[in-house]
Structure 1
Amino acid sequence: MSIVTEVPAAASADALAHFESSLRFETDCWDVHSVMNTPDQDFVLLDVRGTEKYNAGHIPGAIDLAHRKIIAGKLAAYPAETVFITYCAGPHCNGAARAAIRLAKLGRPVKIMTGGITGWLDEGFELVSGAEAAAA
């Protein structure tokens, strides 16, 4: 028995419930990228790091809305069922979770994009700067 198996794996039914449940709260960079700018895109991607970092480089199509600025008035243009996907700098940043909390408190459906900018770049996807985004 190794340190890995010292604590037994969960029963299959428990593992299934756990992993299915986790996908209700998060998505990943690859899945977001695969549907961006297609008819299948059914979410709004929020960069919650702040305008300075957003302008330095962000995911194409993301909206700049720092987690501290998420209030009902900023979301009024979106139908109540709009799913928001939040991201921040990466796995070392809790901004996406803070944004998700604010959105959930406002009664909005939300998921976190795990990996954030770090994960996006690790997948080989491009960022755009504020100037490039304005020109697009």
Structure 2
Amino acid sequence: MPSPVAAIPAAAPEEAAAHFARRLALETDCADVHAALRAGAADFVLLDVRGPGAFARSHVPGAVNLPHARIDAAALEAWPAETLFVAYCAGPHCNGADRAALRLARLGRRVKLMLGGMTGWADEGFAFAEGAG
């Protein structure tokens, strides 16, 4: 009798490759964002999509505060159309980043989620910034 892991056969390698490539096209993680920011190689705009109060208390250094409910065409005029946005919120218990990503995509913008959000950033031991700006 197979284990619970093997009871359902694994996908074919081609199917698995397509699946994981698709996920990576939609998501990034805190470590990759941190590495890009630290190297000065951020080729994206990091959006903290929580409210201004939460952002002022603590946020990822270099992030721009744009609450998901305020994302519209006018709010995005400051960035070129080809800009890649990386959205994050409080963490896995919050769907603010998903809401932001949906709005951005519907506005024709490129977007990825930063998995883990603030919780993931803290779990990695990375420093936070404070203040509104």
TM-score (norm 2): 0.95
Match of 1:59 in 2: 60
Once the 2 structures are TM-superposed, how far is the Cα of residue 6 of structure 1 from its aligned partner?
A: 1.0
The 5-angstrom pairing of residues 111-126 of structure 1 reads 111-126=112-127
Residues 52-109 of structure 1: CA distance to partner in whole angstroms, max 9, x if unpaired? 1001100000001000000111110100000000000111111100000000011000
> How far did residue 16 of structure 1 move?
0.5
Secondary structure in 2 aligned to 1:23? helix
The alignment's C-alpha RMSD in Å is: 1.1
Greater than 3 Å deviation, 4+ residue runs: none
Deviations 1:103-122 (A, max 9, x none): 00110000000000000010
Secondary structure of the equivalent of 1:5?
Answer: coil
2:32 paired with 1:17: no
Other structure's SS at 1:24 match:
helix
Equivalent residue number for residue 110 of structure 1: 111
- 1:42 and 1:93 map into 2 onto residues whose CA distance is 25
Partner Cα distance (1:118, 1:74) in 2: 26
Partner residue, 1:74? 75
For the residues of structure 2 that align with 1:23 and 1:75, how far apart are their CA atoms? 24
2:8 is aligned to: 7
In the aligned structure 1, how far is the partner of 2:9 from the partner of 2:50?
A: 39
> Following the alignment from structure 1 to structure 2, what is the Cα–Cα distance between the partners of residues 38 and 108?
25
What is the deviation of 1:3?
1.2
Matches of 1:71 and 1:6 in 2, distance apart? 46
Deviations 1:34-66, CA, capped at 9 Å, x for gaps = 011544210000000110100110000000100
**Identity across aligned pairs (percent)?**
57
Instruction: Tell me whether 1:97 sits opposite 2:98 in the alignment.
Output: yes
Structure 2, unpaired ranges of 5+ = none
Which SS does the other structure have where 1:130 is aligned? coil
Which runs of no fewer than 5 residues in structure 1 stay unpaired?
none
The aligned counterpart of 1:26 is 27
Q: In the alignment, residue 64 of structure 1 is paired with which amino acid?
A: N
Larger mean CA deviation between 58-67 and 122-131 belongs to 122-131
